[in-house]
Structure 1
Amino acid sequence: NQGTPSMKNLNLPSIFVPLVGLVFSAIAMASLFLHVQKNKIV
């Protein structure tokens, strides 16, 4: 396993994973908001 420096790359996912989760939730909220705005009942 000398071709995969996992100790060096261990720092990237620890920041990348919460960031992706945050962006994904933001996109989900935005799409839900636009869906509600488009189908406004009032």
Structure 2
Amino acid sequence: MADFPSIFVPLTGLVLPACGMAFLFLYLQENKIV
């Protein structure tokens, strides 16, 4: 596991929070509309 390419670390560090924020944003938007 220590041989991960250095690109995966910042990638997951950005993608995971971005997906969480996008999911939360869509969830809040749906709740506001309904």
Q: State if a TM-score over 0.5 links the two structures.
A: yes
| Equivalent position amino acid for 2:27 in 1 | H
Question: What does residue range 1-42 of structure 1 map to in structure 2 within 5 Å?
Answer: 9=3, 12=5, 14-40=6-32
Shift of 1:18: 1.1
Number of matched pairs: 32
**TM-score (structure 1 length as normaliser):** 0.59
Kindly name which structure, 1 or 2, has the bigger radius of gyration based on alpha carbons: 1
Point out where structure 1 has 5 or more consecutive residues left out of the alignment. 1-5
| RMSD (Å), alpha carbons | 2.1
**TM-score (structure 2 length as normaliser):** 0.68
Counterpart CA distance in 1 for 2:31 and 2:10 is 31
